Amino acid sequence: MITPLDIQNKVFRRSFWGFKPKDVNAFLNEMINDYEKMYKENIEYKDKIGMLSDQIRQYNTMEETLKSTLLIAQKTAEEVGLNARNKADVIIENAEDTGKQIIYQAREDVRDIKEEYEHLKKEIFIFKTRYESFMKAQLLSLDEFYNEIESNTKANVTEGHTEIV
């Protein structure tokens, strides 16, 4: 590529009927200035392009990192949700098992209480029957005793004794 210095140092041979050197030099100076501006701008643009390319690579790297981070976050969220559902299922299952055990124990307690109630009813019936028998036996004894006293009193009265034994 031709640099502005190459243009400035370029020397043309002169011919007899050639262009006026003053006009050619003025045009070349103008061209040197414009070319120098364009050359500098081109260098600046190349630097900017390089810098922007670096930034694009950096942004692309950040984008890939963010995408992978987002994927990891989604997977983690799914795993957390799945683990939470699994824990909830285990808790529900344990609660149901505990509830079944409580119900079973309550039924066993009710059955035991009913058995105890039936046993107590039998005991009361036996006690009542024995007590009635005892009371009847006592009444019989008292009747016999009273009858014996009465028969002794009548016998003593008929024999003439008025003594009460």
Domain count, the chain: 1
Identify whether 100 is part of a domain: yes
Identify whether 65 is part of a domain: yes
Instruction: Note down the domain range covering 100.
Output: 4-8+18-121
Residues 6+ apart with CB under 8 A from 156: 162, 163, 164, 165
What tokens were used for 52? 């922007």
Identify whether 82 is part of a domain: yes
Residue 24 above 90 pLDDT?
no
Identify whether 69 is part of a domain: yes
Identify whether 78 is part of a domain: yes
Identify whether 83 is part of a domain: yes
Instruction: Please give the Cα distance from 47 to 2 (Å, whole number).
Output: 19
Identify whether 43 is part of a domain: yes
Tens digits of residue pLDDT in 47-97: 999 999 999 999 999 999 999 999 999 999 999 999 999 999 999 999 999
Identify whether 161 is part of a domain: no
The pLDDT score that the predictor gives to residue 45 is: 95
